[in-house]
Amino acid sequence: MNDHTQKNIEYAEEVANNATIGDIELTKDSSSLITWITALSTGGVALAISQSVKLISNNSCNKVFITISMISLVIAVIVGVLARFQAQKTIENHRVMLFLKLAQKLVFYTNDTNEAPLVFGERYNNCDYLDDSLKSKFLSCKEDNKRWYSEAKLLIVQILLFLLGYIILSILAVL
């Protein structure tokens, strides 16, 4: 491996490592937030159940609102569990992708490259130097991280359900 190839690999690895580690940290932060909101939603369900007799007070309108609040909070818990699972799947995919990016270095122990650093870095981060089976695994992980039901989207849904449930509980407590 010549010096030019070595410098290109070091640069590409640094970029790949920093980007992947940053993505993993963001996912871990989202996962912590999901856990907290799930716990608070569970507490809201317990609060709604324990205070339901006081909050209803023979008013059929309040019965509907307490039911909506409890359903909203229970769904927030369920969405939180799904989001947490998706966060773990995302972290796993990022780790596999990082491993595959770093595995490309083996190709350059026997081959050198004279590509420009930016072109090399882009091809390296897209795993263009892997054989077809490993590249398809990389692309599969990359596509799996772009699913429509990712932890980020589920977190937004969970927050909205959580807020709806607690706002209704707060209004009922004030009335």
pLDDT tens digit string along 63-107?
888 889 999 999 999 999 999 999 999 999 888 888 888 888 777
To the nearest whole number, what is the mean pLDDT of the chain? 85
Mean pLDDT along residues 110-139? 80
- pLDDT, position 58: 66
CA 145 vs CA 84, 154, 159: distances in Å: 14, 13, 21
Six-digit token pair at 143? 């596509």
Mean pLDDT along residues 57-68? 80
Whether the pTM exceeds 0.75: the reply is yes
Q: Tell me the residue type at 113.
A: T
CA neighbor of 52 nearest in space, from 172, 175, 162: 172
For residue 145, is pLDDT > 90? Answer: no
3-state secondary structure of 110: coil
Mean pLDDT along residues 5-18? 79
Residues 173, 55 contacting (CB under 8 angstroms): yes
Question: Which residues are within 8 A (CB) of 113 and not within 5 positions of it... i.e. 6 or more apart?
Answer: 4, 5, 8, 120
Domain total in the chain: 1
pLDDT interval class at 23 (50, 70, 90): confident
Question: Model confidence over 36-47: pLDDT tens digits?
Answer: 999 999 999 998
Scored b (16 or more CB within 10 A) or e, 36-56 reads: ebbebbeebbebbeeebeebb
> DSSP alpha helices (H): ranges in the chain?
3-56, 60-103, 117-125, 132-144, 151-174
- pLDDT, position 81: 95
Torsion of the alpha carbons at 92, 40, 166 and 156, rounded to the nearest 10:
-10
Could you tell me the residue range of the domain that residue 89 belongs to?
Answer: 3-174
Range name among 63-77, 78-92, 122-136, 146-160 with the lowest pLDDT average: 122-136
Say which residue, 126 or 59, is predicted with more confidence: 126
